[in-house]
Amino acid sequence: MNGNDRTDGRAPAPAPAGEGTRAVRAGLPDPVKNEPPLPGPVFAAHFHLPGDVEGPYTYGRDTNPTWTLLEQAIGELEAPGADGAQTVVFASGMAAVSAVLLSQARAGDTVVLPDDGYQALPLVREQLAAYGV
């Protein structure tokens, strides 16, 4: 008889999930009977919105179910067990860079940008200059 054998006929309690399990299960919804275990990606750019626009998803470049699950997965992996951890997914790298720069830089700050970066970088530079950065 080993430590996992039970005399009451019940199955042994499952071991706690390790790091590997957490890494492959992060962000996934709890299983639902007769539903696939993995949600499919949402490729829609827009959503059917009869009447007043309400609900979490209105336009795919703002947010969509696939992004929501990715944000949850990243949050679980980067800050396991942290309540209130926030993760934001962007439609592009330039959107992420712009969000950080335009929300954090203040008049009088200095930001160093490359001359030969992404083609939209001069537009970001102009916007920062307009803010006094």
Reported as a single tens digit per residue, the pLDDT across 70-90 is 888 888 888 877 776 788 888
Question: 14: pLDDT confidence band, cut at 50, 70 and 90?
Answer: low
Q: Which residue has the higher pLDDT, 60 or 76?
A: 76
Pick the closest to residue 3 from 69, 25, 13 (CA basis): 13
The residue-averaged pLDDT of 110-130 equals: 89
pTM: 0.55
Instruction: Assign 80 to helix, strand or coil.
Output: coil
